[in-house]
Amino acid sequence: MPFSRTSSERGNPEPGRNALASSPHKEPLQTLLQRLTLILLLVLLCLQPFSQPSTAYADRLQQESSLDQQARDLLARMTPRERVGQLFLVTFDGTDAGSESQIYDLINNYHIGGVVLLAENNNFTWDATLENVVALTNQLQTDEWEAAQRNRADPAPNENYTPQFIPLFIGISQEGDGFPNDQILNGLSPLPNQMALGATWNPALARQVGSVLGQELSALGFNLLLGPSLDVLEATHTEGSRDLGTRTFGSNPYWVGQLGREYITGIHQGSDNRIAVVAKHFPGAGASDRLPEEEVATIRKSQSQLRDFDLVPFLSVMGEDVPPESTVDALLTSHTRYQGFQGSIRDVTRPFSLDPSAFAKLVEQLPQLAHWRSNSGVVVSDNLGSRAVRRYYELIRQEFDPERIARNALYAGSDLLYIDDFSTTLESSSYAAAARTLDQFALKYREDPLFSERVDEAVLRILKLKLKLYGEFALEQVLVSPENLAEVGKNAQATVDVARQSATLISPTLTELNETVPDPPDLYDRIVFITDTRRAQQCSGCPVQQVIDARALEEVVLRRYGPQGSGQIGANNVVSYTLEELQAILEAGRGDSQMERDLGRAHWIVFSMQNPSAAYPSYDILKNFLTNRPDLFQQKRVVVFAFSAPYYLDATNISKLTAYYGLYSKAPQFIDMAAYLLFREIPAEGAPPVSVTGVYNLNEAIQPDPDQLIPLTLDLPTSTESEAVGTAEPVLNYGPFRVGDIVPVRTGVILDNNGNPVPDGTPVDFILSMAGEVNSQVRQTEYTVGGVTRTTFQVTSTGSMNIRVESGPARQSQVLNLEIIAEFPAGSEPSATPTLEPTPLPTETPTPTVTPEPTETPTGAIGEVAPPRQPRFSDWFIAILITATVAWSTYRLSAMLGNVRWGVRAGFLALIGGLAAYSYLALQMPGTENLLNGSVARGVILVTLTGTAIGLASTWLWRTIWITTNGNGEGKSRS
């Protein structure tokens, strides 16, 4: 609203000044009001509740920005040699990191980015294993710190840089289940492998195991974990040794993603975010028929096939919607080749870790990967000195050139270059080859601008990840105390829980087993235990360890059920042999050995099996026994416990067994579980996460259970969790509703054949029909999220509406019966939407009719029962635009009429009024429900205009009072 100046304001400014001077309290009061007005305006602008953005996401953005600036400042102070050194993740022999060692030289003079400790390199000892690990990791970090101090005092000539202390990555691959996939074999809490976790179908247990691993590795000084594997085990091989087996969570992309995500979360939480997690083997090697360490495999898959299957678990741990604690820190790229990746089936990529275009194509096509990469996600190459890489270069008849291979991996997208055994025919020492490669990288950095740009890009990501781990690069932040070892190795409960929930009766069914074997072994039964034992060493000079010991299961059985236990069996009736001894009698042919005599007298023969290897095909021995020596097991009860993947026996072999159990892991807790299962004290709760040929099909197992009654209910905010899961009643009555109402519906949790929620993306058909109408059925397909599906229907006609659902073979569900009317009878329409509660159809016990009860929600569509939508950023922007436009227009119009002072006041009050009104709406204060339940943008416009009008009216009232109380004829001369 414009205002013109009075005649006294135009012609004689002094009277107004004298009038103010004559009242000593008016000028301070006016100043106070002006200040309060400005403060109120700033508060409204800064604290607008427009969309309540995620605090966690805002903190994440702020942290990213801070880390980025710190990393850039640090990068600017680094020498070229320090920069290229950060790219390399190396290995070394032994436990010596003193000033005379080769690893000291690589740290001191080449400024490597990190190391990986391996059992095969003798980095661990037999005695005082954990104490020596802490001493070694602390020594390595101290070497790096001392190198920075020494170089700072004596900087390199001709380089105007300041040497920096940058903590080393100290990495390890600790996959669980001991030898051969764990590096530390003694002292840590025994943890299960990934397939055992997969057989629990319980992501919470994956988080618990990850937490234990993170806490214990962090206490040892590790800050980089090469794992877990997020590969989806698509190809299984009954001959063994050719697939990843128990190193994966299973064969379903959804469940591998869920378990992997929780496992990563646990590692971060257990380590207090001091361990960077490296998921492997990107973009997926689950269909490989070769071990990634041994040979470069070729997988026939297009980009779309990878995206829809292999990449699903990887994408579940990156992206904007993934919490920071569940986001993977780095990806380890595989050496796998992909046929058809480029679109043509004739085209085959190079090994993915060495292909300069393959990773870039995935970044272009996958928004989650692009987001993760733009937020400094680090890519780690798989071992560039592995036998697989060497065999590949032999195949294409090229010399193994460490510098060229490292450069190819860098251009292929890797930021950290993992090198173990970089020796060549010219340089038999891996140390010398690594040093030469680092020298060549430093030289090329100075000469090639494109190369230096790629190096700086990679180093910036590495620095940000290290800053994320430590906050600041101070030695006291990095070193670990030996006192932290007090709790290491004492976290067995998680493994006990996994052993119990993963144990699986693969064949026969429990009902069949109870019929054929109603009782466990008793006092007069003779039991022969045959155990697949292996030998392992912590280092080349360390004592040999038995994995599993030949008498391990026998000892557990005697302890629990022998004379010193429950007394169910006699100590003289049990005997143990190794699988090697069984192999010997099979090769010797029929005879009269002690083992043959014991097998002939036995009532029970119990096998304990481990994963087969190329050196020891253990399951072949068992198959040979089942095929060629039926005389030794017929009329006996043969039980096999697979402390391995469960698919090494086919249906024919399994049919010869009394019981076949999957235990998956060989930690001591799983051997205990085998004893419980043998004596039927604990039921097997798990289910295989992979298919077993002829016995168990995973794809069928994860389909909706056809015998379930799918819960169905209205999707109301008042619904409780019990309603979400459904009741036992087949039909639920709701109503009445009006034509035009929106009916929101949701299922409860839909279960698969294993009793677990079906995977995300399972199709569910909602079927709507009107009673008495021909061809009135409407079918609407939606997809599950967390086992639950939601949809809405709009009511188009009166009568009785029925809604039910189907999902694959599950055809039975609760039925919603909705009464639809045209309008509520005159005078009886409630002032609020009725609270709708389900009522079962009348049975033998009469059920009272539900009477609508008014609530505070206005009458309208059923969809209006949902909470009002919160205004968004766009709504806030509309409010700012309207108020600013009105305020500015008011000021300009008043200024044109010659009254700048009152124009400013009017503009400010219009702005304050509009923003205050918008805030009232955004806070959902009383009276705003109708506006928020309709078009929010329209409500924002109406409320904001009302607020600005009130502000202008307040200005007019203020000016009127001002002129009246200040006299000097202003009241008469007001325009």
Provide the pLDDT for residue 429: 87
Determine contact, residues 402/350, Cβ cutoff 8 Å: no
pLDDT score recorded for residue 927: 59
Task: Output the pTM of the full model.
Answer: 0.79
* Cβ contacts of 418 within 8 Å, gap of 6 or more: 89, 116, 332, 380, 381, 382, 383, 384
At 550, the pLDDT band (50, 70, 90 cuts) reads very high
Q: Letter for the amino acid at 721?
A: E
- Average pLDDT for 427-434: 88
- State pLDDT tens for residues 772-798: 666 778 899 999 999 999 998 888 888
Pairwise CA distance, residues 220 & 716, whole Å: 51
- Please state which of the ranges 182-191, 416-425, 955-964 shows the lowest mean pLDDT: 955-964
pLDDT at 521 over 70: yes
Cβ pair 891, 903 in contact under 8 A: yes
pLDDT of residue 397: 82
| Measured distance CA(221)–CA(573) in Å, rounded | 49
> pLDDT at residue 835 above 70?
no
Q: Are 100 and 155 in contact (CB under 8 A)?
A: no
CA 12, distance to chain mean position in Å, is 75
Q: What is the pLDDT of residues 311-343, one digit of tens each?
A: 999 999 998 889 999 999 999 999 988 888 877
Amino acid at 459: V
Predicted confidence at residue 60, as pLDDT, reads 54
C-alpha to C-alpha distance for 885 and 871, rounded to whole angstroms: 20
User: Sorting pLDDT into bands at 50, 70 and 90, what band is 752?
Assistant: very high
Digit-coded pLDDT (tens) for 336-385: 888 888 777 777 888 899 998 889 999 999 999 999 999 989 999 999 98
- Amino acid at position 519, single letter: D
- Do 688 and 754 touch, CB atoms closer than 8 A? no
Comparison of pLDDT for 891 and 779, the residue scoring more:
779
Assigned token pair, 733: 């009555």
How high is the pLDDT of residue 921? 63
**Res. 492: pLDDT tops 60:** yes
Amino acid of residue 623:
K
CA 596 – CA 590 distance, rounded (Å): 9
Q: Which amino acid is at 312?
A: V
Cβ neighbors of 481 (< 8 A, separation 6 or more) are none
In this structure, the dihedral spanned by the alpha carbons of residues 271, 275, 276 and 279, taken in order and rounded to 10 degrees, is -70
- Residue 858: alpha-carbon gap to chain centroid: 41
Which residue type does 868 have? Answer: P
663, 499 contact by CB (below 8 A): yes
Token pair for 197: 């976790």
Q: Are 606 and 573 in contact (CB under 8 A)?
A: no
Q: Which three-class secondary structure state does DSSP give residue 709?
A: coil
pLDDT at 28 over 70: no
What is the pLDDT, as a whole number, of residue 928?
Answer: 58
What's the rounded Cα separation, in Å, for the pair 571 and 561? Answer: 9
CA distance 373 to 369: 6
pLDDT confidence of residue 844: 39
Mean pLDDT of 701-720: 85
- Yes or no: say if 830 and 859 are a contact pair by the CB < 8 Å rule: yes
Contact 915, 905 (CB under 8 A): no
pLDDT at residue 931 above 70? Answer: no
Higher per-residue confidence, 235 vs 277: 277
Q: What pLDDT, on the 0 to 100 scale, is given for residue 964?
A: 74
Q: What is the pLDDT of residues 107-119, one digit of tens each?
A: 999 999 999 999 9
**Diameter of the chain measured on Cα atoms:** 133
Cα torsion at 479, 481, 486, 491 (round to 10°)?
-10
More confident residue, 452 or 972: 452
Q: What share of the chain in percent tops pLDDT 90? A: 58
**244 vs 619, higher pLDDT:** 619
pLDDT at 599 over 60: yes
Instruction: Look up residue 444 and give its two tokens.
Output: 């090329």
Q: Which residue has the higher pLDDT, 839 or 167?
A: 167
The CA distances from residue 278 to 96, 332, 424, in Å, are 26, 6, 28
| Residue the block writes with tokens 């595989």 | 334
The predicted structure's pLDDT at residue 864: 36
pLDDT at 764: 96
In this predicted model, which residue has the larger pLDDT, 200 or 24? Answer: 200
3-state secondary structure 729-766: CCEEEEEEEECCCEEEEEECCCEECCCCECCCCCEEEE
Residue 428 CB partners (closer than 8 Å, separation 6+)? none
Token readout for 308 is 């829809």
In three-state form (DSSP H/G/I as H, E/B as E, the rest C), the secondary structure along 333-377 is: ECCCEEECCCCCCCCECCCHHHCCCHHHHHHHHCHHHHHHHHCCC
| Residue 48 vs residue 517, higher pLDDT | 517
Strand intervals (E) in 573-730: 574-578, 604-609, 637-642, 659-662, 712-714
Is residue 905 within 8 A of residue 958, CB to CB? The reply is yes
Whether 665 has a pLDDT exceeding 90, the answer reads yes
Mean pLDDT of 437-457: 96
